[in-house]
Structure 1
Amino acid sequence: MIDAHISGACSEAASAQGHVVRVLPVDEDIAVGPGESLMAAAQRSGYKWPTVCGGQGTCRTCYVELREGIDRCAPIGSLEQEGIQALKKPVDGWTRLACQLRISGDGVVVVKRGVRARKH
């Protein structure tokens, strides 16, 4: 369960920019705009997100494991489904491609190693 300070931050950011996703283990909140993918939102916010294909859904390097909020994520599309199957993961909603993942509500928590702030 997300603690109170995260929930408060999520509510403030969500009202201005869509919805907020907590990314572990970096323990950062990323505001995701309406119709924007999680990976695109992270890159827009200055984070380096592991990818080879640049968000085309073909390399599958960007995949995340959901910890919370599966019901606040848009349904899996056919391109994403193919990618998840290629990863040999069940297509049950708990593994997603960040470049395809759209958020429909607050309280989503994902795990993605390798996410870091860009150096200026």
Structure 2
Amino acid sequence: MDGEVSHRVAVRPSGVELDVLDDEDVFTAAQRLGYRWPTLCGGKGTCRTCFVQVEEGAENCLPVGPLEREGIEALRRPVDGLTRLACRLRVQGPVTVTKRGVRRRVQE
């Protein structure tokens, strides 16, 4: 991670804090850091299970792309930048999101 820029994403209610790199989405960062994030499709943007509610820092989120827009609309939520898919959400500064079920992966 030397020389790479990361941004803090706080996940409520679990209290998890992720350092998300510039070139990765929140879902990928969580996996890299050893967290289990609810998903069915494994981060392909098709199941919409990973969706989050942005509580703070929406201005630090990159814009919603076409696949993410389709997913948010399928959830019957407004495409207002506050409901996002973690597997598509890239950030450029601190963000706080709400997502239940995020937890440390159990070591086998």
| TM-score of the two chains, using structure 1 as the length reference | 0.85
Write out aligned runs for 1:85-104 (5 A): 85-104=73-92
Deviation at 1:28, TM superposition (A): 1.4
Aligned residues: percent identity?
54
Name the structure 2 match of 1:60. 48
Matched, 1:32 2:20: yes
Moved over 6 A (4+): none
Equivalences for residues 73-84 of structure 1 within 5 A:
73-84=61-72
Q: 1:16, CA displacement in angstroms?
A: 6.0
Aligned 8 A contact 2:4 2:21 in 1: no
Greater fraction of residues in strand: 2
RMSD, aligned α-carbons: 1.2
Determine helix, strand or coil for the equivalent of 2:49.
Answer: coil
Contact 2:12 2:99 in 1 (8 A): yes
Alignment correspondent of 2:96: 109
Counterpart position of 1:8: none
The CA deviation string for residues 3-48 of structure 1, in whole angstroms up to 9 with x for no partner, is xxxxxxxxxxxx8641010000101110000120000000100000
Counterpart AA for 1:80: E
- In structure 2, the residue matched to 1:9 is none
Aligned residues: 105
Counterpart position of 1:10? none
Relative to its length, the structure with more helix (as a share) is 1
Gaps of 5+ in 2: none
